[in-house]
């Protein structure tokens, strides 16, 4: 049931309550490793995104309502990761279920009860589909817009925090330039692709050399061809020796992309 409070007030209250819900869920995680990786790390990740989300989508830029709703979407989208860790499910596989779990626990908590029905539905749909292979939402819907904003920002933040790319600060620079100068979608993809590709290749290398058991069978928000290349590496179509050569070339791509940003 909605109230007469301004949307900004409802959002502010929701963010506080989502934090509290997140902390309660984390407290229930018994496995120490999962408590960190799918508990505290996800808590920090969701807070980073919601506190200062860079908005490139024109529809969101021009809509005070969507800007507010996006904060809630970003703050709650990985609550399902806590649930997976509590139940000790197959959390090492990047799959679609955590979006559904996030939306369900958020809805059942009653945190969104003060929101209008339409706002509530857009928030829940965006969260549900952000981890799905296919976004079964109408292209012109607000939920679709929120969902794709989340998918892009989600992956960018994860890569920004990646141990290989974080020291260079290249994606942080990319993000700053993209949103400051309002690059077109085509320009954004052209600049962004080397970073995502390098990330996928690094993850593949970890799997091949045994330092990681994480197998991302698909990467929401990352171009399909890059996901396919990742799978080719894992399946052996690309050999470990060839992988080293690919990684070397990607380092050149990263350097060139960074130089392009400075011009």
- The predicted pLDDT at position 60 comes to 79
H runs (alpha helix) in 88-184: 97-109, 117-129, 142-160, 170-181
Q: Is the pLDDT of residue 84 over 70?
A: yes
- Give the pLDDT of residue 7: 94
* Residue 64 CA neighbour count, 13 Å, CB half: 3
Task: Examine the pLDDT at 259 and tell me if it is beyond 80.
Answer: no
Beta bridge partners of 143: none
- CA–CA distance, 221 with 153 (Å, rounded to integer): 9
Instruction: Taking residues 104-111, report their average pLDDT.
Output: 97
Q: Is the pLDDT at 88 greater than 60, yes or no?
A: yes
Cα–Cα distance, 183 to 168 (Å, whole number): 22
- Those residues whose C-beta lies under 8 Å from the C-beta of residue 133, and which sit 6 or more positions away, are 96, 218, 220
> SS3 for 93?
strand
State how far the Cα of 260 lies from the Cα of 263, in Å rounded to an integer.
5
Grouping H, G, I as helix, E, B as strand and the rest as coil, residue 73 is helix
pLDDT of res. 213: 41
Q: Which pLDDT value is given to residue 121?
A: 97
**pLDDT digits 0-9 by tens, 161-214:** 655 445 445 445 545 544 444 444 444 445 455 555 565 556 555 555 555 444
Q: Rounded to a whole number, what is the largest CA-CA distance in the chain? A: 63
Per-residue pLDDT tens digits for 118-145 = 999 999 999 999 888 778 889 889 999 8
pLDDT in tens, 212-256: 444 433 333 444 444 455 556 556 665 555 555 655 555 555 455
What is the per-residue pLDDT for 132? Answer: 81
Q: How many CB atoms lie within 10 A of CB 152?
A: 19
Please say whether the beta carbons of 196 and 250 come within 8 A: no
Q: Are 17 and 75 in contact (CB under 8 A)?
A: no
At residue 185, what are phi and psi to the nearest 5 degrees?
Answer: -60, -40
192, HSE (Cβ side, Cα atoms, 13 Å): 24
For residue 257, the model assigns a pLDDT of 46
Using alpha carbons, list the distances in angstroms from residue 151 to 83, 99, 154, 179: 20, 11, 5, 16
Which single residue is written with the structure tokens 């590709």?
197
Give per-residue pLDDT as tens, 7-57: 999 999 999 999 999 999 999 999 998 899 889 989 999 998 888 665 556
Other beta carbons within 10 Å of 48? 15
Q: For residue 76, is pLDDT > 90?
A: yes
C-alpha to C-alpha distance for 132 and 135, rounded to whole angstroms: 6
DSSP symbol at 142: H
| DSSP label of 221 | T
Q: Give the whole-number percent of the chain exceeding pLDDT 90.
A: 33
In the chain, the domains with their CATH numbers are 1-150 (1.10.3210), 162-263 (no CATH)
Q: How confident is the model at residue 107 (pLDDT cuts 50, 70, 90)?
A: very high
Using the predicted structure, report yes or no on whether residue 159 has a pLDDT greater than 50: yes
């Amino acid at each position: 049931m909605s109230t007469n409070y301004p949307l900004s007030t409802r959002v502010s209250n929701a963010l506080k309550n989502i934090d509290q819900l997140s902390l309660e869920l984390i407290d229930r995680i018994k496995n120490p490793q999962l408590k960190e990786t799918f508990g505290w790390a996800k808590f920090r990740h969701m807070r980073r995104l919601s506190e200062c989300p860079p908005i490139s989508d024109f529809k969101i830029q021009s809509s005070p309502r969507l800007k507010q709703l996006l904060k809630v979407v970003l703050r709650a989208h990985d609550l399902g990761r806590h649930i997976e860790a509590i139940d000790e499910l197959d959390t090492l596989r990047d799959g679609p279920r955590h979006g559904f779990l996030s939306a369900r626990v958020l809805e059942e908590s009653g945190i969104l009860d003060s929101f209008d029905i339409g706002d509530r539905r857009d928030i829940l749909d965006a969260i549900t589909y952000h981890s799905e292979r296919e976004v079964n939402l109408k292209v012109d819907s607000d939920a679709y817009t929120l969902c794709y904003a989340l998918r892009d920002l989600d992956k960018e933040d994860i890569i920004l925090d990646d141990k290989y790319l974080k020291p260079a600060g290249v994606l942080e620079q990319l993000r700053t330039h993209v949103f400051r100068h309002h690059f077109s979608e085509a320009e954004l993809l052209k600049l962004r692709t080397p970073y995502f590709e390098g990330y996928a290749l690094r993850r593949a290398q970890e799997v091949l050399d045994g330092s990681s058991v994480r197998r991302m069978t698909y990467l929401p928000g990352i171009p399909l061809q890059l996901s396919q290349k990742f799978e080719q590496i894992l399946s052996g179509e690309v050999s470990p020796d060839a992988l080293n050569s690919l990684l070397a070339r990607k380092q050149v791509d990263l350097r060139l992309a960074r130089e392009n940003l400075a011009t």
